[in-house]
Structures are given as structure tokens and as C-alpha cells.
Amino acid sequence: MFTPRPRKEPQAHEQTQRRHWGVRGLAYPSMAGDVDHSAGPVWDLLSEPRMAPYVADADGDRAAALALYCWSSRTVAASFEVLGHLEVLVRNALDAVLREHFSEAERGIPWFMLPINENVSAAVETTRGRLREQNREYRDQIVAGLSFGFWSGLLGPKYEQLWRECLHRAFPHSTGRRKQVMIALEGVRKFRNRLAHHDSILNVDVPFEVRRIVEVAGFIHPQAADWLTSLSRAMAVYAERPVAPLDTVVVAARAGWPLYQSCNAYVCQVGRSFRPVERLAFYFDSAIQAEIPRVRHRRDAVEWTEESAARLRGSSDRNDRKIAAVIETSREFGWTEGVYQVFLLTRPGDAEHRTLPGPIPHQSTGRGGAFTQRQRYVSLHGLETARSTTDL
């Protein structure tokens, strides 16, 4: 039977040809005293399969790989901290509007004990059963014991009517559209699950996920978002990454940036040399622009003619057809016939695309003061944590 309850600055980095290496004296944080734990029982207990992504990211250096592993764990812990605060905010906001909507004070019956639907009843009964065994079956404990997935699930399509009646009031600073809040909260839930399962976060866009957590808090109240931002350690810890690959080329893009915005591609001189990179960034108007696309396909020596575009457009190869569209679009921008090199890139919203909070300004002035007049290699991690180009 239900029982009413009784009353930091980022660390410095050194740049090598391929990577940024964290500077911590002469040792990685994987070392304690003079003991290198990247060899021996600690490494064996962690297991080669678990450490494989870290070894790959550290170019085979096991000490650096273990440092990355430790950094990943600290980043997960810091992310969980801010995520836990959001979970409380969301839970309490939804509980408050449901309590009012179902006249809980007048009825004397908690809203979750009413026959809302089978999913709600099943989740509540499971939680009550667990708490009953602990002699903690109180109202507030039941609300706190319902999973994050339960609360995010209340924003699904089957609860559209309940959203219109009351749930929208839990997020008064959103657009008022259920789908907007649902998508954001579902993204937070997936991020939470990834952290909880101790998966590698090397390929997770942690800055984006932290911004999304703050965004959801802002749907509830702007001061909640400000509070989360002020207390979050996630970005400070994330900035301490000890090893970051130089995986992004920043190109001078006076013509390239407007073209990318039109057709998600970068076009440059035939035969131009590039190191192997995963991403491309655009230096335009004295700033590195916020969109950091992933390179999908690179092709050199493409004929820039109407005949070439027509031939490629009729191909069964998807990349051929995309290049045909780039040729056609670029000609509208005044690109003349010739032979060029093409990078097909992701667009904003793609899963592998990265969008920074804003452009990264370059504050040097004078002749030769541009961040790059051709191309320059940086790490995606550096771009995610830089306030200006002096941080790169």
C-alpha cells in the first residue's frame, strides 16, 4: 500500500607534426611516481580490446593511451554531474505540472497512481516494488526513483494530448512544440546511456552534448541554464585532453566558405597537397567559421565543364552525382571552366558534423597577420575549446 512520506584553465599543449601532447611534467597522468601502468597488470586488467580505441588515437603509445583513458573517465564523471542536475530539474518540473493538472492536493491521490496509461502504471509499479523492499515507498522516493527514460518518454507522440493540457507548462521557455523538447531530451537520454555504459567518448561531441543539456535547462527557466553553466566542470575537464590528433585542415576560404554554404563542398586547385585529415574548417572574414564538416569524399582533377557535369549526373555513383551538382552550383558563383580538386563535406545536422558555439576570432592585424593564407592543421578538440586562434 502507498504510504505518504513524513515531513579551471585548460592545460598547455605542445604541437608535433601529427598530434598535440599534454604537458604534465615528464609523465602522463597514467603514471604514479615512477611506475608506468601502461605495462603490466593494470593494462592487462583493463584489457586490450577496451584500450584499442585509445591506443589508435595515441598512435600506438600505450602511456598516452592510458592518459587518454583516464581523461575520458574524468570527462564522463564531470558530464554526469551536470546531467544529474538536469535530471532533477526536468523531473521536478514535470512532476509539478502533473500534480497541479490532476488536482493531487484536492484528491489526496498522487497523479502517478491514476490510470494514465499502461506504460506509466507499469513503470510506477516497478519502482514501488523496488522501494517497498527497502521500506522507502514514499511519494517523493517514487518520483525520484522513476528513470530518466520514463520522464523523457512522457514527451513522446502518445502523450500529445497531455502535452497540450499541461506538460508544455514544464518548459515555458521552449517554443511550445512538444517535438522540439522531445528531440532535445531524447538526445540527452542517449548521451546519458552512453556515459552509463562506460563507452569510449573519443568520438562523442561532448561540447555539443553539454550545450544541449544547458539548452533543455533553459527551456525550464533561463536562470536554470545559467546555473548549470556556472557549476559545470565538463568543458574544463574536456579541455585537458592529453592527446589530440591534428585531424582538421583550416583553409583560407574567401570564395570557399560561400560555396560550402551553397553546396556542402570545398573546391580548390588541382594537385594541391593535403595531409590525411578527417575534417575541414573555413577561415573567412578574420575568423574560423563555426561549421566543421567531415570530409566524405575527396577527388582530384575534376573537369569543370557542362559536359563533365552532365556525364557525372548520369552516373550510378552517388559521389559522381554530388560532384555534378557542385559543378553546376559553382558556375553560378562564377567559377570558370578548368580542372579542380573537390572535397564533398557533411552539412549542419549530419551525425558526424560538428558545429562550434560560434566563430573563432583571429585578432592579429597587419600584413601577413592572417591565421592562414592557404591551409593550416589543427585538432578538432582544439577548435572545440578555443576562444580565439591564439589558443590553437
pLDDT band at residue 116 using 50, 70 and 90 as cut-offs: confident
Per-residue model confidence (pLDDT) at position 8: 37
Q: Are residues 236 and 319 in the same domain?
A: no
Same-domain pairing of 294 and 352: yes
Q: Is there a single domain that holds both residue 153 and residue 281?
A: no
pLDDT digits (tens, 9 = 90+) for 37-52: 776 788 889 999 999 9
Q: Give me the pLDDT at residue 39, please.
A: 65
Co-location of 223 and 253 in the same domain: no
Q: Do residues 187 and 259 share a domain?
A: no
pLDDT tens for residues 304-320?
999 999 999 999 999 99
Same domain, 131 and 106: yes
Residue 16 located in a structural domain: no
Q: Which domain holds residue 210?
A: 62-240
Question: Which of 29-33, 194-198, 223-227, 370-374 has the weakest average pLDDT?
Answer: 29-33
Task: Convert the pLDDT of each residue in 259-275 to its tens digit.
Answer: 999 999 999 998 888 98
Share the mean pLDDT of the chain.
Answer: 87
Question: 366 falls in which pLDDT band (50, 70, 90)?
Answer: low
- Mapping DSSP onto H, E and C, the string for the chain reads CCCCCCCCCCCCEEECCCEEEECCCCCCCCEECCEECCCCHHHHHHCHHHHHHHHHHCCCCHHHHHHHHHHHHHHHHHHHHHHHHHHHHHHHHHHHHHHHHCCHHHHCCCHHHCCCCHHHHHHHHHHHHHHHHCCCCCHHHHHHHCCHHHHHHCCCHHHHHHHHHCHHHHCCCCCCCHHHHHHHHHHHHHHHHHHHCCCCCCCCCHHHHHHHHHHHHHHHCHHHHHHHHHHCCHHHHHCCCCEEECCEEEEECCCHHHHHHHHCEEEEECCCCCCCCCEEEEEECCEECCEECEEEEEEEEEECCHHHHHHHHCCCCHHHHHHHHHHHHHHHCCCCCCEEEEEEECCCCCCCCEECCCCEECCCCCCCCCCCCCEEEECHHHHHHCCCHHHC
Higher pLDDT, 107 or 335: 107
Distance CA 179, CA 185 (A): 10
What is the model's pLDDT at position 248? 96
The pLDDT of residue 137 is above 90 = no
Please check whether residues 213 and 301 belong to one and the same domain. Answer: no
Domain boundary among 219, 240, 261: 240
Residue 15 has pLDDT above 50, yes or no: no
Q: Please tell me whether residues 105 and 203 are part of one structural domain.
A: yes
Rounded CA gap, 385 and 356, in Å?
Answer: 9
**In this structure, are 210 and 261 located in the same domain?**
no
28 in any annotated domain: no
What's the pLDDT at 35? 56
Work out the average pLDDT over 22-41. Answer: 52
Structure confidence at residue 135 (pLDDT): 86
pLDDT of residue 159: 94
Report if residue 281 sits inside a domain.
yes
- Looking at residue 375, its pLDDT comes to 93
Are 290 and 199 contained in the same domain? Answer: no
pLDDT bin (cut points 50, 70, 90) of residue 171 is: very high
Q: Is the domain of 283 the same as that of 306?
A: yes
The answer to whether residues 71 and 161 belong to one domain is yes
Give the pLDDT score at 365: 64
Count of structural domains, the chain: 2
pTM of the model: 0.75
Report pLDDT digits (tens) over 222-280: 999 999 999 999 999 999 999 888 999 999 999 999 999 999 999 999 888 898 899 99
